[in-house]
Structure 1
């Protein structure tokens, strides 16, 4: 099944290459002419940190990732401008299919990642990057700063993790995030179907914050284990671990702020209803 997704992504890459390559050349030329030293350093970093599995995976070109990210941000900006003076459009059936697909896909990802981790004999934390062939198996209220920041940043971060070390400790974040998404998109699906599981609403953000806390615990343990307790062992790349640690702080801060504002908004709405 995983082979199918990889092959599908490769096929999409081939079909879009005539449109992406000219943009990639412009981006490379602009960066190289404007910041030649930065461009050279970037090339060296990518070459020195490349996982042996990079050539077997789609979308491992950083410039393609940057183009997609720019496209995502542009779509959000232009879309908000276009819809700012228009009436709301009913997208109920699109929302149903979107959320249903994400529930199924997230559940599939969670189960397959955990089963592969079990097969490889991974412990909870401190799993080294496995670079052998065995280690890689081909088996407008809503459009907030938090929403945009999280989606464009996590895309780039997971690209880096996959580029550098898609094995070892990467399993924990992937499985945990997929489990959270099963709950989150399951709730969204129930809401669109007009049978909302109301008690879940206030716990979803707490569930996400628990995820970030567990990821921070994982990163902290790995920093201790691989850098202090057992520095001579085969380790998971430091760059990915420290990136995870810092990123989780931003996620905790932003989601905590969202949780506080959301509870305040619900309280104000409740008071308003009682006053009517």
Structure 2
């Protein structure tokens, strides 16, 4: 497909970018802001949080961590725990519906899995309907990761501090950061869509479990399958690890910051979820490290 980038409503908003691989020069300020515009995808620069580096997104994540670790517990110190029954039921059902939608949408965007075999770095100036659909669907899914943060806030307001574990905080913090990196550098890269496809399925099941659990003790006998949800999560990371190993061997044109940061995450997550599984289902000890 050929087109004039200056005539497109998205690409015409921006000045020409440096091509990835050219020598980049400049001081610290360059690498804090302009670097991301030089190596980033011009099609996403106009979107909220995508311009001038990751600092807006990182500010949100820093505020989240400070609140759930320090400010929230202090505010709740002399207060009774909130119930939040109906709010949590609505929230969990909403997240189930959102994840079911994005599973179907992202699957359609990559030709029902066939595009996962395309390991070439995508064209940053492709404004075909297929590319733009994938771009905006990916951005929408990225924004849902901020909705997930309310899960932790509800734990704090209900004084369920034991649920705010290292694993929980790492998961809710690193996923939006990786999502930002994907959206800024290669929002139409088909291989990265494997994560929202698999993760949306697991989150739909997980939030279904949370929604059912809001009904209290009478429903608990029917929630025996929580253990298998964790097993499913472990299989998810095995799949990611295998797929991205193949991807790392066959990919062409992807920047090192993208491949190096993303590749290690399945192994980190597998280790942390395996420790959680052993702690909760394989031993009787309460001395858990996640």
With the length of structure 2 as denominator, give the TM-score of the two structures: 0.70
Unaligned runs of 5+ residues in structure 1 are: 1-35, 270-276
Shift of 1:186: 0.8
Quick one: distance in 2 between partners of 1:48 and 1:95?
A: 42
For residues 119-158 of structure 1, what are the structure 2 equivalents within 5 Å? 122-124=115-117, 126=119, 128-131=121-124, 132-134=126-128, 135-137=131-133, 138=136, 140-158=161-179
**Residue pairs, 1:76-155, within 5 angstroms:** 76=68, 77-118=70-111, 122-124=115-117, 126=119, 128-131=121-124, 132-134=126-128, 135-137=131-133, 138=136, 140-155=161-176
Deviations 1:80-130 (A, max 9, x none): 222244432211111101111110011111110001111795135636424
**Residue number among 235, 239, 245 corresponding to 1:220 in the alignment:** 245
Aligned residue number for residue 211 of structure 1: 236
**TM-score using structure 1 length:** 0.74
Q: What's the secondary structure of 1:133's corresponding residue?
A: coil
| Distance across 2 between alignment mates of 1:190 and 1:117 | 32
Whether contact under 8 Å (1:216, 1:245) holds in the other structure is yes
Choose the corresponding residue for 2:185, options 148, 152, 164.
164
Question: 1:183 maps to what in 2?
Answer: 205
Residue in structure 1 matched with residue 148 of structure 2 by the alignment: none
Structure with greater helix share of residues = 1
Q: Deviations over 1:118-160 (max 9, x none)?
A: 1795135636424311222146111111111211121111111
Q: Deviations over 1:188-240 (max 9, x none)?
A: 111113434423200111111211121111211111112xxxx5xxx444432
Q: Check if 1:51 corresponds to 2:41.
A: yes
| Gap regions ≥5 residues in structure 2 | 1-25, 138-160
Partner residue in 2 for 1:40: 30
